Amino acid sequence: MALQEDPAPGPDRRRYTLTLTNNGAADFLPTATPDRHLTVTFRLLDGTDQVVREEVHRLRRRILWRPFIVELRDTRLPRHQPRTYTFTTAGRDAPAALEAVVRYHLLDEKRRRRIGYDNQTPIAYEVFQRRIELPGG
């Protein structure tokens, strides 16, 4: 995973890209049950670390279980096929920092509550985090 600033797309604008590549799993990432998923979150922060703007992307598999199994949507990461996420700032945002976080989720929080699962260990883990201080922020 790598977060980098792209060449300036225009005046008062900055563009950042985060590229994810599945180099470890022989199948799609995440593997196993459809409950497992990844989130890619970009947060634009002001000088007091308050969120100015946020974008969340989900890599997951959606299944219809009944009356038979139907795959509705699959946005997981195939093996050896990089996927790039782009975040663009505008002059009006007045950001101080950009943060990118990738989290691996064993179970969606809404589903955990619905099924009454009382977990003793976390159901989500941070696998990547990078913060870039922005000039003028």
Q: What is the mean pLDDT of residues 29-52?
A: 91
Radius of gyration, alpha carbons of the chain: 17
Residue 136 has pLDDT above 70, yes or no: no
Residue 137 has pLDDT above 60, yes or no: no
Write down the pLDDT at residue 100.
95
Q: What is the mean pLDDT of residues 71-78?
A: 92
**Domain locations along the chain:** 2-133
DSSP string spanning the chain?
Answer: -EEEEPSP-BTTEEEEEEEE-B-S-SSSBS-SSTT-EEEEEEEEE-TTS-EEEEEEEEE-EEEE-SSS-EEEEE--B-BT--EEEEEEEEGGG--SEEEEEEEEESS-HHHHHHHT---SS-SEEEEEEEEEEPTT-
From 133, 137, 136, select the one nearest 3 (Cα to Cα): 133
Query: Across the chain, what does the average pLDDT equal?
Result: 87
Write down the pLDDT at residue 39.
96
Euclidean distance between CA atoms 42 and 73, whole angstroms: 23
Whole-structure pTM value: 0.84
Euclidean distance between CA atoms 33 and 22, whole angstroms: 17
Each residue's pLDDT tens digit, 103-115: 999 988 888 899 8
Name the amino acid, one letter, at 73: R
Each residue's pLDDT tens digit, 12-23: 778 889 999 999
CATH number for domain 2-133, candidates 3.40.50.150, 3.40.1160.10, 3.20.20.140, 2.60.40.10: 2.60.40.10
Write down the pLDDT at residue 50.
94
Each residue's pLDDT tens digit, 23-37: 988 889 998 888 899
Strands 51-59 and 61-64: unpaired
